[in-house]
Structure 1
Amino acid sequence: MLSHVMVGSNDIERSQRFYDAVLGTLGVGEPLVNKASSGHTRFFYRHDGSTFSVTEPINGEKATPGNGCTVAFSCKSPEQVRVFHDTALAHGGKSIENPPGLREGSLGPMYLAYVRDPDGNKLCAIYHGSDKDGA
């Protein structure tokens, strides 16, 4: 359904360091770097048919996080959720809401963690698992 997700950054080099480390925990490689015709830098991280992008705003205004927006990244285990979370914190992110852990809801058990990147964008690491495998 989705082609890509793009978030804005006010410090593109800081964002690349953050996302290289955090997305690396999911097996994502180096991003494609693109200079827009406007001169603004963009990074495109591609993995398993999905694209996550970070850009300097091309309108020249300050990047701001979307109110009510969350970008969720699929993880393969509860441990990968914890590593994603801890790596985000080690690279300038901020833990928000509850600590990484199991959440029960109408969609079944999920192991997840929420963080904000250095620009304030809300990220979620999520594993849809079952009780028997630690989620």
Structure 2
Amino acid sequence: MKAVVAGLAVLSVAVLGGCTAIQVEPLGVRPANICIESNPKVQVSDFVDVIQRGLAARGITSQVYAQVPASCDYRLTYVAYRTWDVVPYLSSADLEVWDSERRRVGAAHYYLRGKGGLSMAKWQGTQTKMAPVLEQLLKDMPAR
């Protein structure tokens, strides 16, 4: 019986904890401005606003473009996916920053393992989920 209880405890921790995974290649440059390439397929309504606020907190201005002008020194591309469980929630996101030579200078990947499973944290907002991602991506740039 103790083995069953211990097994359930381990399973509960595995299901409820550690469902978020973040992989980051920190931004290797300090841009003053980043042009964000709009991705109309993304259904997470506040995603770009959250990214722009995160950049602004580090003193980086940004503008959103349907087609990024060639004059932009840095371009950010993104994808974000929602999953549904009673209500839709952010389950995965990728950010990539490119220089004018089309070299990737930073990247971040966020995802919920098992789409969040039974964890209540899966319903947290975009800001809560993306803040640690942006923190790691922009780690060498102090907040202003």
- State the TM-score, normalized to the length of structure 2: 0.29
Report the structure number with the largest CA radius of gyration: 2
- State the TM-score, normalized to the length of structure 1: 0.30
Q: Using CA pairs under 8 Å that are at least 6 residues apart, name the structure with larger relative contact order, 1 or 2.
A: 2
In terms of fraction of residues, the more helix-rich structure is 2
